[in-house]
Structure 1
Amino acid sequence: MLWRKNNGIAALALLVAALTLAGCGFRPLYGEQANSPATTQYMAAVEIAPIPERIGQELQNHLRVRLNPRGAPASTRYRLQTRLNEIRTDLAIRDDASATLANLQLIANYTLHDAASNDVLYKGQSRFTASYNLVRSQFANLVAEDDARSRAVEAISDDMRVRLGIYFDRQAKAAN
């Protein structure tokens, strides 16, 4: 009997929380708004400026797919400039002064410009830290570091897409 009473109270609390969130204008971060037709059109008009080095090329390719999965922008209205910084930190030092764990932190500072006037419309920063084990094999360490770098690039491109989607969603709502 007590179990049923607690379930009823929990269900009522969940209902009140859901209604409260709906009333305050709460929207899920990864909801339909980031994929609305207006937001998709804005993101399709973004030209991604070249990002130096191999890791920059990977990020540029990921962004191209995430911002405009249908192909090249028909008309460029925005330009996205990105600067990448990579920091590697060795952790878990052994007695012989060699590390057994490393963190690879990737930081992307980016700026969205109006293509016509070159005015800065939005600035952001995305960062991700990927950890990987270090072993005695140099080749295995290079492969692990490359994998950590790839995971970081993918996470950063996802984060940048979400942040730009929120920006463009606000622009679309302001235009209406």
Structure 2
Amino acid sequence: MEKTRFKLNICGVDVTVSGDVDRDGAEAIAERVRVRMEEVLNNAYGATIEKAAVIAAMNLSEELSRTEAALNQAREEANALRTKTKEFAGADGLKARLSEAEMKLGVLQEKLRLAENRAEAAEKEAEKAKAAAQNAAHTAAAEPLDLPPIDLRNPMLPDYGDETGLVSFFEKADVKETAREDEED
């Protein structure tokens, strides 16, 4: 860039600017200084142009220091990230990632083994339950059920009492005596 030379007016003071700065950039800087000086002149009692220029320069210098500190911190963080990235990209990083992946694989294999064991146990329980159900069904079909006797009398015919069997013409008293005689014998 070519060296340039031009004049600027900041709060009534003419300043000649020369160097490798373009006019638009120099005017933007001069405007920032002008705004700061006007703030000081409007807020400080009895401030002169010289004092306003000094105070504005100090305020701008403070802003520059904070910006430089933030920039340095950002550079340090960027360098730390670069170092970490290099670690992951290098052999050490690959070993660390491989070790982490192997640990995750071991955990997943253990979970799979436990799930398979649970499934196998559930399958055995299901087989036992099926066998028990089949056994119960077979037993129920083979053995008569212990149910109360069913009254097979015709409700349309008159009720003759507890007469049973072919011999129903005996009186009840005779049946009881016959039963006692059979027991005594």
- TM bucket (normalised to shorter chain) is under 0.3
| Higher Rg of the two aligned structures | 2
Query: TM-score, normalising length from structure 1?
Result: 0.22
Of structures 1 and 2, the one scoring higher in RCO (CA 8 A, sep 6+) is: 1
| Structure with more helix by fraction | 2
| Structure with more strand by fraction | 1
